[in-house]
Structure 1
Amino acid sequence: MLRGRLDVATRTHISGWAQDERLPHQPIALLVIDNDVLLDRVVANRLRPDLAAGGIGDGRHGFDLRFEGGLPGLGQHLIRVVRERDGAELAASPAVIAPANAFDAHETSLLQSVLDGLATTTAIDAAIIALSAQIDRLAARRLAPAGSKPRALVIDTTMPAPGRDAGSNAILSHVEALIRLGYAVSFAAADGSAPPRHPGIDWRSRPVHRSVEEVLTREAGRFDLVYLHRLDAAAGYMPLVRLHQPRARVIYSVADLHHLRLARRGYSEREPALIAHARKVRDTELAVAGAADAVLTHSHAEAAILRRTLPAERVVVAPWLVTSAKPRAVVPQATIGFIGHFGHAPNLAAAHRLAFEIMPRLRAGIPAITCLIAGSAMPPAMRQWAAPGVQLLGAVDDLPAFFARLTLTVAPMRFGAGIKGKLLDSLAAGVPCVATPIAIEGLDWPTKLAHCVADDDAGLADAILALCSDAALHRQSVLAGRALIKRDWSMAQVDAALAQALGSDAAAAG
């Protein structure tokens, strides 16, 4: 009597065991049949320790077939394993191998073999043409079917990373708002970097999509909305967007007005060349803004500047979602902090001011006060700073843990533009922020936080010392900061702003 089993049946591997109970020590010859065609002949004589442990003879009853390249994946395979002598079939035979629903290693190997055999330029060119046509067909099949959600393409200079910077937080927040407003959202980045793990977004990245240009041209006329984030992306792709997506509504999100930041830096550092460059950047920014159907800014101040040259209804103040943390049970004493990306000139200058100009004043009032400076891209010269009471932490992965160490944060910017994302994060964490007028520019800053704003070093130091020494004032500042976040930086505010920028398209999407 035949006993045994077909244990594994895949396109690359068939294995199992077989034994004749009347002749338990004699190997059995088997036939492996694929769709009624003999695939191979095999003898069940391989050692299987599990069979030996189970008392099935001496365990030498196994068989194992491996197929280099695998069985063809385009059709179904019905695998049968039978005894050669009489056709008796093993248990679990036949086994069905379903057709491949993906372009896997076998198909890749077959294609590579064909391509490797091309020997002439003419043959190679013909293959490129044929493959390009098939790629176009696949790209067309990948698109959303007719009658589905309206399609939005978001273009940025780089892929966002949640929590990395204000720009990432803003663009991801706006993408989520578009999804809530009824759009199917695709995202392409100019630098080809790897996308984050984020549900609901169709990431257009390498190797499937080689460039933003490819997405725009291959899917010409297929997007209802194109959202351009930051000046470099908008200036670089606006002409292509208008050429290949003529029916799309185009939104340009400025992030911050570059020319304003450059001009302020130029005047602060007395650099005429930088001031002249700022004027050229201003012309570019206004030209790009003028070519868009709607312009987003996070700042009320920058909205006012844009409305000097653009129709007021085309400029929309759009926050991003900032989530408040639970109130802190314990507030650390006399520990202040600054966090930012130090490849950004305003942050580097502000950190230097805090360490070398403000901290000496603070130590005169509270000798034990400590300043923690954190952030990415610290230049080597900065790492050599030797300022009493100042600790340079470098990049921090856990922002809530950093804020938990602080009494308050400081944003002593002398120049810059746009909304300061880490200032908002600080308020949301229940950590008051002492700041310059430049740092809070564009926010609807409440009068209850007026004591947290000063322009000169002496005023900033006095505000910091007051918050460190007056628990009631500190508590009032925490509550006012959290109220600001809840009022102006909620999901409802984000959705309303994006809906306003979309105009009639928002109603159609919804």
Structure 2
Amino acid sequence: MGIKRKIKNYIYLKRHYPLSVKNITPDPNKKTVLIVDSQIPTFDKDSASNRITEIAKFLAKHYNVYLMDWRKAIPKLESKKYIQNLNDHNVMVYTPFIGEYGIMKGKKHFINNLLPKLDFVWCHRPELFEHYLDFFRKKAPQAKIVYDMVDIHYLRMERGLEIKYDKNRAKELVYYKHIETELCKQADKIAVISDKEKEFMTAFVDPSKLFTVSNVHNLKVKPEDMPPFEKREGIFFIGTFLHDPNVDAVEILYHHIMPLVWKVLPKLKITIIGPEAPEAIEKMNSERFEIAGFVEDIIPYYKKCFASVSPLRFGAGVKGKIGQALEYTLPVLTTEIGAEGMFLENRVTALISGNEDYQKFADNIIEICSNESTWNTLHNNSEKAIYPFSIEAQKEEIFELLK
């Protein structure tokens, strides 16, 4: 690192740090887990971040838990609320500091201090596992390495390429497939996000290494505490546009599904929520098809809308947008791909259509916005739908993973 960069970093730390003032003292009687991610998890921006945040908070009740962003030597001010949220639940997050004699202590200092204490290294996402596998094998041979797949990336890409071929995405697929079917064999344990993916992965690795650790969702409200059917209006879609299936889903809503809905319900408004929308999506914005971008507080949408809609044609893993809607007892409309691994039952806990049955998806939207009986059935069955994703339902599997 050059002298100018060091000075710039020093000034940044003096001006903005510490990002959290809580001091957490490790318990010498507990085992130590280091979670390595590609970012400080942004629980309110993407499903994978929300999942690892909830897992870290749960683990911190039973282990000494540290979390490190592998990319940034200096987490920025924007990460402050996420670091504080984790610290509030006794998760120790890497941030540099200015030590004795004005010397900055960074990531190297953080890792070197942890290496002899580590019992588990939890590599969240395939890139992290590939990057750190050899390092922790050599530097912390006593530590068990957990590869958290998040979802099976190459499978999601493979499904997407069947619908829309992209040369660059095809190259990425080869990279991820190597990690997810070959390199993964070198992990001590592998966390998969659903039993369906666990079954899929048995073709590549010893089944005894596989553990299902899904999204973590808990019922946030009681059905009777939420506004009733007659006080609802509109529907919404939510998801980050850095995720190809979400871009495709919004295009399908705009070009195929909503025109069919508007023939019957011409005034129905749909709101598209999520960061990083490409220009083509931004241009869809209108009074009936609102492109809202990132929304800090989405709870009002759970309170005022008829349903969350997710017409996914491809993807893999468990869909956080569906679990989050169920947390607030909001009916969910999705496809067979969207429902994969979610334990959903058509017309009992969700309305489910074929992946490319646009007329059926449109009919489901019309029904959920006009049939109070259907709406109440899904609304009142949310707790049944969400239970498999609660910590209570998953904790034994997590403890087994970290034996």
Q: Which residue of 1 aligns with 2:164?
A: 269
Cα gap change, 1:209 to 1:330, in 2 (>3 Å): farther
Residues 240-289 of structure 1 show CA distances to partners (whole Å, capped at 9, x for unaligned) of 11111111121111111110111111111034663454133211222332
Aligned partners of 2:70 and 2:114: how far apart in 1?
17
CA contact (8 A) 1:336 1:370 kept: yes
Q: Which residue of 1 aligns with 2:372?
A: 471
Residues 217-247 of structure 1 show CA distances to partners (whole Å, capped at 9, x for unaligned) of 4543320111110111111111111111111
Q: Which residue of 2 aligns with 1:322?
A: 217
Residues 276-309 of structure 1 show CA distances to partners (whole Å, capped at 9, x for unaligned) of 5413321122233211111112222221211111
Q: What SS does the aligned partner of 2:203 have? A: coil
Q: Which residue of 1 aligns with 2:16?
A: none
Aligned partners of 1:389 and 1:300: how far apart in 2?
39
Q: What SS does the aligned partner of 1:296 have? A: strand
Indicate yes or no: 2:138 matched with 1:258: no
CA contact (8 A) 1:225 1:249 kept: yes
Aligned partners of 2:270 and 2:26: how far apart in 1?
52
Aligned ranges 1:201-216 → 2 under 5 Å: 201-207=91-97, 210-211=106-107, 215-216=110-111
Cα gap change, 1:143 to 1:401, in 2 (>3 Å): closer
Equivalent in 149, 156, 165 of residue 30 of structure 2: 149
Amino acid at match of 2:372: A
Q: What SS does the aligned partner of 1:316 have? A: strand
Aligned ranges 1:188-267 → 2 under 5 Å: 188-192=68-72, 193=75, 194=79, 196-197=83-84, 198-199=87-88, 200-207=90-97, 210-211=106-107, 215-267=110-162
Aligned partners of 1:319 and 1:393: how far apart in 2?
29
Indicate yes or no: 2:47 matched with 1:166: yes
Cα gap change, 1:386 to 1:151, in 2 (>3 Å): closer
Aligned partners of 1:459 and 1:352: how far apart in 2?
17
Cα gap change, 1:254 to 1:382, in 2 (>3 Å): same
Mean CA deviation greater in 352-361 or 332-341: 332-341
Flag the structure with larger Rg. Answer: 1
Query: Displacement of 1:361 after TM fit?
Result: 0.3
Cα gap change, 1:407 to 1:177, in 2 (>3 Å): same
Amino acid at match of 2:184: A
Aligned ranges 1:405-416 → 2 under 5 Å: 405-416=304-315
Q: Kindly indicate whether structure 1 or structure 2 has the higher relative contact order, using CA contacts under 8 Å at least 6 residues apart.
A: 2
Indicate yes or no: 2:396 matched with 1:496: yes
Aligned partners of 2:350 and 2:93: how far apart in 1?
43
Aligned ranges 1:293-312 → 2 under 5 Å: 293-312=188-207
Aligned partners of 2:199 and 2:95: how far apart in 1?
36
Query: Displacement of 1:214 after TM fit?
Result: 5.1
Aligned partners of 2:341 and 2:279: how far apart in 1?
33
Residues 430-466 of structure 1 show CA distances to partners (whole Å, capped at 9, x for unaligned) of 1111111111112222352464333210111111112
Q: What SS does the aligned partner of 1:365 have? A: coil
Aligned partners of 1:333 and 1:149: how far apart in 2?
49
Aligned partners of 2:284 and 2:334: how far apart in 1?
22
Amino acid at match of 1:444: F
Q: What SS does the aligned partner of 1:153 have? A: strand
Give the aligned length: 358
Q: What SS does the aligned partner of 1:220 have? A: helix
Cα gap change, 1:167 to 1:277, in 2 (>3 Å): closer
Query: Displacement of 1:387 after TM fit?
Result: 5.7
Give the TM-score normalised by structure 2.
0.83
Residues 315-374 of structure 1 show CA distances to partners (whole Å, capped at 9, x for unaligned) of 111123313232213334451110111122111111111122100000111112111111
Query: Displacement of 1:424 after TM fit?
Result: 0.8
Runs of 5+ consecutive residues of structure 1 not aligned to the other structure: 1-141, 504-510
Aligned partners of 2:297 and 2:378: how far apart in 1?
24
% same residue: 22
Aligned partners of 1:228 and 1:292: how far apart in 2?
10
CA contact (8 A) 1:221 1:246 kept: no
Aligned partners of 1:144 and 1:358: how far apart in 2?
53
Indicate yes or no: 2:67 matched with 1:187: yes
Aligned partners of 2:145 and 2:47: how far apart in 1?
22
Indicate yes or no: 2:316 matched with 1:417: yes
Q: What SS does the aligned partner of 2:128 have? A: helix
Equivalent in 338, 362, 382 of residue 461 of structure 1: 362
Q: Which residue of 2 aligns with 1:41?
A: none
Q: What SS does the aligned partner of 1:474 have? A: helix
Indicate yes or no: 2:190 matched with 1:292: no
Residues 180-224 of structure 1 show CA distances to partners (whole Å, capped at 9, x for unaligned) of 2x211111111232451032112122246533x654445433201
Aligned partners of 1:352 and 1:206: how far apart in 2?
42
Aligned partners of 2:302 and 2:60: how far apart in 1?
31
Query: Displacement of 1:143 after TM fit?
Result: 8.9
CA contact (8 A) 1:298 1:418 kept: yes
Amino acid at match of 1:205: T
CA contact (8 A) 2:191 2:212 kept: yes
Q: What SS does the aligned partner of 2:36 have? A: strand
CA contact (8 A) 1:216 1:240 kept: no
